[in-house]
Structure formats: structure tokens, C-alpha cells
């Protein structure tokens, strides 16, 4: 079966919380090591530079605002792509659609924020407030509009759950490629492979352990690949 990699989504959470607290960090470490090995292989096949990361270290990175935004991003993306990957829940489906709709609207209107900028705290907060309000409005519009079609939506959801599962992996990957800012084909291939693996891992955590754990894992992953390298390089540069 196409979803044999994942456990039955109707029988998730079959490991108690005490075991999950031990198993998930171990699994996450193994996942990071695996990605590190993959990145080394990709660098050999598709050579890429780290000039962008080094350039960012010249700025006074606002760790607090960046970390806060990464928390927001992890919550938003997990509910947008993987929040509905459970037993059918009309509210979760609508919430995921509202988040996706808000993202598309902001994309059309070219509303975005650079969270790694040292002076991004106020633009970032303004962005989060605008995004939240827009999502709430869109949620109520979709909720009322589609309320009478719950039975049809539930039937389609149950019949095409496998398709929905893999579609969210594809959407997650394409969205990150689009916003990577890398036009070079070598970068696109590397980002596609790394992001696809990450999407599968987050999906596995979400289905088997719940959305809270997938949010936590997603946040630490984002922190490790975006903030931690900059902090580490700055420390090394200071020690010279």
C-alpha cells in the first residue's frame, strides 16, 4: 500500500507519552544525522556555496524575534499541511484550507517578512497579526460556506486520504522551493530532496504521535538549519 511507510492513521498514538518523549528525540537525532549525510552527498553531486549564510552573520541577528517567528511558522505549517491528517474533523479541514488560502492571498499581494533581519521584530509582529486576522476571517467564511457539504467532504476525505497525504508532502516541498530564492537548478534539486525527506518525517511524527510533537520537531529542525549555523559561525568568528 502506498502509505505502508506510515501507520494506520486511525490507530495513531499507540506509543504512550513517556516512551514518545524518549523515542522522538532519538528519532530526531537520527533524522538530522541522516540529513547531514544526504547533504554531504548532494554537495558532492550538486556543489553549492554557503556565502548566503556567511553574509547573514554580518548582521546582528535578533535571536528572540527569529525564534518567535520560527515557532509561529512551525505551528502554521503543521496545521496547514498536516493538521487534517487524522480522523475526519470538519473544523481541522476548514482550518487547514483557511491557512492555505491566507498563504495564497499573501503571495498574490506580495506580503512577506524577512525573519532573519536584525530589525524585523515589528514587521514580523505586524505580519503575524495580519496573517492571523486574515486566517480567522477566511476560516469563518469557509466554515459557513461549506457547512452544508460536510457529508460529501467527509466521504471524499476518507476515500482519498492517501492522496491527501501525499499531496500535502508535494505542496510542502514545492512551497519551500518557491520561497528558497534559489534559481540555480542545482539548488532546486538539493532543496527538493531535502524538503521532501523532511516532509515525510514530519508526516510520520504527526500521524503516529500527534500534531503537538510534529510542531516541536518542526521548530527544532527549522532552528537547526536556519539560526543555529549563524550563531555558531558568529561564535567562531568572535573567537578568532
Domain contains 1? no
Domain contains 18? yes
Average pLDDT, the chain: 78
The domain tally of the chain equals 1
Residues 220-240: pLDDT tens digits?
998 888 777 666 666 666 655
11 — pLDDT class (breaks 50, 70, 90): very low
Residues 171-203: pLDDT tens digits?
999 888 876 655 555 677 778 888 899 999 999
pTM of the model: 0.80
Q: At what angle are helices 211-226 and 17-45 packed, to 10 degrees?
A: 40
Residues 89-107: pLDDT tens digits?
999 999 999 999 999 898 8
**123, 133, 149: which is closest to 98 by C-alpha?**
133
Domain contains 4? no
d(CA 150, CA 143): 10
Contacts of 174 (CB under 8 A, 6+ apart): none
d(CA 86, CA 92): 9
Domain contains 199? yes
Sequence-separated contacts (24+) of 173-178 with Cβ below 8 Å: 173/199, 175/103
Question: What length is written for the chain?
Answer: 240
Would the CA dihedral through 24, 207, 191, 227 be positive or negative?
negative
Domain contains 61? yes
Domain contains 198? yes
For residue 179, what are the domain limits? 9-238
Residues 129-153: pLDDT tens digits?
999 999 999 999 999 999 999 999 9
Amino acid at each position: 500500500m502506498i502509505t505502508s511507510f506510515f501507520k494506520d492513521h486511525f490507530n495513531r498514538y499507540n506509543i504512550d507519552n513517556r516512551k514518545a518523549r524518549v523515542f522522538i528525540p532519538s528519532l530526531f537525532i537520527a533524522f538530522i544525522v541522516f540529513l547531514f549525510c544526504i547533504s554531504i552527498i548532494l554537495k558532492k553531486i550538486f556543489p553549492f556555496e554557503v556565502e548566503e549564510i556567511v553574509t547573514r552573520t554580518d548582521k546582528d541577528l535578533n535571536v528572540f524575534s527569529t525564534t518567535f517567528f520560527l515557532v509561529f511558522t512551525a505551528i502554521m505549517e503543521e496545521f496547514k499541511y498536516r493538521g487534517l491528517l487524522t480522523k475526519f474533523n470538519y473544523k481541522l479541514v476548514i482550518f487547514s484550507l483557511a491557512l492555505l488560502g491566507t498563504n495564497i492571498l499573501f503571495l498574490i499581494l506580495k506580503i512577506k517578512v524577512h525573519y532573519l533581519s536584525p530589525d524585523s521584530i515589528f514587521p514580523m509582529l505586524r505580519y503575524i497579526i495580519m496573517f492571523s486576522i486574515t486566517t480567522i476571517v477566511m476560516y469563518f467564511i469557509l466554515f459557513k460556506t461549506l457547512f452544508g457539504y460536510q457529508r460529501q467532504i467527509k466521504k471524499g476525505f476518507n476515500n482519498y486520504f492517501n492522496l491527501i497525504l501525499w499531496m500535502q508532502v508535494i505542496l510542502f516541498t514545492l512551497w519551500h522551493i518557491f520561497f528558497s530564492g534559489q534559481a540555480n537548478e542545482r539548488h532546486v534539486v538539493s532543496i527538493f530532496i531535502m524538503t521532501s525527506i523532511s516532509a515525510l518525517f514530519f508526516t510520520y511524527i504527526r500521524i503516529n504521535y500527534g500534531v503537538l510533537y510534529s510542531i516541536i520537531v518542526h521548530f527544532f529542525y527549522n532552528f537547526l538549519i536556519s539560526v543555529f549555523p549563524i550563531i555558531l559561525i558568529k561564535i567562531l568568528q568572535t573567537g578568532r
